Amino acid sequence: MNDLTYSLKVFRQIGLLKPVAPHRLLGAGLQLAKWGPGLPSGVNAAAKRFPRQTAIIDDVGEITWSDLAAQVNQMTQALKDRGVRPGDSIAVLSRNHRYMIVSIVAIMQAGGRVLLLNTMASRSQLGELAKREDASLVVVDQEFLDVAQDVDRSLLVLGWADDDAPDDLPTVASLSRDQPTTDHPKPERHGQIIIFTSGTTGLPKGARREEPKDLKPLIAFFGAIPYRGNSTVVIAAPLFHSWGLINFAFGLSTAPTYVLRRRFTPEQVLQDIETYRAEVLVVVPLMMQRMVDVDPAVVEKADVSSLRITASSGSALAGELANHYMDLFTDSVYNFYGATETGWVTIANPTDLREAPGTAGTPPFRTTVKILDPDGHEVPQGETGVVHVGNDMPFGGYTDGNTKSFADGLMHSGDIGYFDEDGRLFVSGRDDDMIVSGGENVFPRELEDALIDHPDISDVVVTGVSDDRFGQSLAAYVVLKPGASLSEDDVTQYARSHVARFAVPSRLMFLDELPRNPTGKVMKRDLPGFE
């Protein structure tokens, strides 16, 4: 299938070729021509094509595409009235809800730089980032006011505000009220989104995420993850993270209805899927694990038969999690392997995950993936090396001026992996996670995948530690399921029967929970040490 035929197939699938009244189609086309690919054109074009369709369902209620676009225009004018100019930076510290969307798109329409902050940002991080990036405004949900104590109060705007919100702080809703809803001209500088790395200590790095120059990235994404036009999409993954954001941004072209909740609970997700007949659920793997672990009576009662796609990314899929999930719900898991810097690398569909559990999948449309040795040479199929990738989602570099390294024209992913005989990629782990134990190269993920499948273990992470005998060895931090009882010897014996001798943990610690960030990654720096 040539590129044109493939592209038309994808456009038809996501509803871009669906018959629409000529004046609406013209209006959408004018928005795309005006803004180019990106958030402003996506929201405004959806409003022109399907003005009365529900755009967002959140904890406030429902809002149509027409009303959402109007509120974005009102907020854009409010920002301009506050002195925001093209190129200015505005920080956003928010959970998933309409006011976050209105803020981000309005900043883009004003030509500003959106600084998307992790909801686990500390007080010192937010204060220092606001100064370093010269933020002219900081939009924060009310719950994060304590984190914003070091920010000049005159710069604060509340995104989500409760009934007891401080009277001296404006809100997105109050700033927008009574402003004109008329369209805005294209700014002299294109808006930009900066996604900040997570962490609880140190200052996160800002990664510039460039807006696509054309529709090729959209074709690649939807060619691998088969969204359909006008579907209902539950985005449980945080929008401040690249995975949640890309599903929202690319999804705009399909004119969906988004369901956004400020807090994730598996019960609420199941209820939303059933109530709104959702076809798509966007999650991180930790959310999938929470859904697998939910009360079986709740699972049995929930009707999730409408669910066609469970789009997962953000951290590695542990063990047989994808298949456990699909056994309980629907054969719907599409796992996206990539990063903020690389964009996508590979995508595994339900067939891949059934036939080759643990695979990261295959490269999508117009994506090149090679496994290279330390000298930059491609290794034979089946041999392990560093994963390198090239696609149509160029990385804009970090805000400190640094960027990622390249070899053979492809970006260094930082991961070690190999291709099997069917062209499926398997990722062994981060290159800096590998340890050498008794002369053997060992990755923590092998042991993690084995232990998470134990019926009494609900969560696990494995790290490398110093070892007087072998140089290095593995240490496991284990969380048991409620009511379960295991000894260290039980876990060690289980590991011996499932992994190679050199991958059996030499140290083990039971914890009540692992320190994870909102995207599910374990913050290893916060793990307790071994004496």
Q: How many CB atoms lie within 10 A of CB 351?
A: 10
Strand 395-398 and strand 206-209: pairing?
antiparallel
518: domain CATH number?
Answer: 3.30.300.30
d(CA 105, CA 112): 10
Q: Judge if 168 and 193 occupy the same domain.
A: yes
Count, residues in the chain: 531
Residues lower than pLDDT 50 in the chain = 199-201
Q: Is the dihedral of CA 30, 31, 36, 37 positive or negative?
A: negative
Residue 338 confidence (pLDDT): 86
Under DSSP, the state recorded for 346 is E
Contact 153, 171 (CB under 8 A): no
Q: Judge if 172 and 222 occupy the same domain.
A: no
d(CA 154, CA 169): 8
Q: Does residue 211 sit within a domain?
A: no
Examine the fold and report which residue of 368, 402, 430 is the final residue of a domain before the chain moves on. 430
Strand 89-93 and strand 62-64: pairing?
unpaired
d(CA 465, CA 506): 9
CA dihedral of residues 25, 26, 28, 32 (deg, nearest 10): 130
Q: Judge if 231 and 354 occupy the same domain.
A: yes
Q: Judge if 412 and 507 occupy the same domain.
A: no
Write the DSSP assignment of 207-272 as a string of letters: EEEPPPSSSHHHHHHHHHS---TT-EEEE-S-TTSHHHHHHHHHHGGG--EEEE-SS--HHHHHHH
Q: Does residue 210 sit within a domain?
A: no
The SS3 call for residue 5 is helix
Q: Judge if 337 and 368 occupy the same domain.
A: yes
Q: Judge if 482 and 411 occupy the same domain.
A: no
Boundaries of domain holding 379: 216-430
Q: Does residue 531 sit within a domain?
A: no
Q: Judge if 69 and 148 occupy the same domain.
A: yes
With left for phi above 0 and alpha for psi between -120 and 50, is residue 483 left, alpha or beta? left
Contact 432, 417 (CB under 8 A): no
Contact 457, 429 (CB under 8 A): no
Residue 518 confidence (pLDDT): 77
d(CA 324, CA 326): 6
d(CA 363, CA 352): 12
d(CA 380, CA 383): 6
CA angle 512, 457, 464 (to 5 degrees): 75
**Residue 255: CB partners within 8 Å, gap ≥ 6?**
15, 46, 49, 50, 53, 65, 229, 230
Residue 116 corresponds to which tokens in the numbers above?
């998307």
Examine the fold and report which residue of 204, 238, 271 is the final residue of a domain before the chain moves on. 204
Contact 68, 98 (CB under 8 A): yes
The SS3 call for residue 371 is strand
Residue 30 corresponds to which tokens in the numbers above?
């004018």
Residue 204 confidence (pLDDT): 61
Q: Which amino acid is at 480?
A: L
Q: How many CB atoms lie within 10 A of CB 226?
A: 15
- Structural domains in the chain (count): 3
Q: Does residue 25 sit within a domain?
A: yes
**Residue 24: CB partners within 8 Å, gap ≥ 6?**
48, 49, 50, 51
Residue 198 confidence (pLDDT): 52
User: Tokens 């399909």, residue?
Assistant: 254
Q: Does residue 97 sit within a domain?
A: yes
d(CA 224, CA 217): 11
| H-assigned helices in 14-86 | 22-35, 39-49, 65-81
Q: Does residue 306 sit within a domain?
A: yes
Dihedrals phi, psi of 400, to nearest 5 degrees: -85, 5
d(CA 308, CA 210): 29
139: domain CATH number?
Answer: 3.40.50.980
Residue 476 corresponds to which tokens in the numbers above?
């496991």
Q: Judge if 78 and 167 occupy the same domain.
A: yes
Q: How many CB atoms lie within 10 A of CB 93?
A: 26
Residue 210 confidence (pLDDT): 59
Q: Judge if 485 and 417 occupy the same domain.
A: no
Q: Does residue 15 sit within a domain?
A: yes
Q: Judge if 403 and 419 occupy the same domain.
A: yes
Q: Residue 90 is inside which H or E element, if any?
A: strand 89-93
Residue 122's alpha-carbon distances to 145, 315, 399, in angstroms, are 11, 22, 19
313: domain CATH number?
Answer: 3.40.50.12780
The whole-angstrom distance between residue 344's C-alpha and the CA centroid of its chain comes to: 11
d(CA 462, CA 530): 13
Examine the fold and report which residue of 171, 204, 237 is the final residue of a domain before the chain moves on. 204
Contact 335, 347 (CB under 8 A): yes
Q: Judge if 168 and 281 occupy the same domain.
A: no
Under DSSP, the state recorded for 197 is P
Q: Does residue 391 sit within a domain?
A: yes
Q: Judge if 301 and 380 occupy the same domain.
A: yes
d(CA 70, CA 77): 11
Residue 382 confidence (pLDDT): 92
Residue 525 confidence (pLDDT): 85
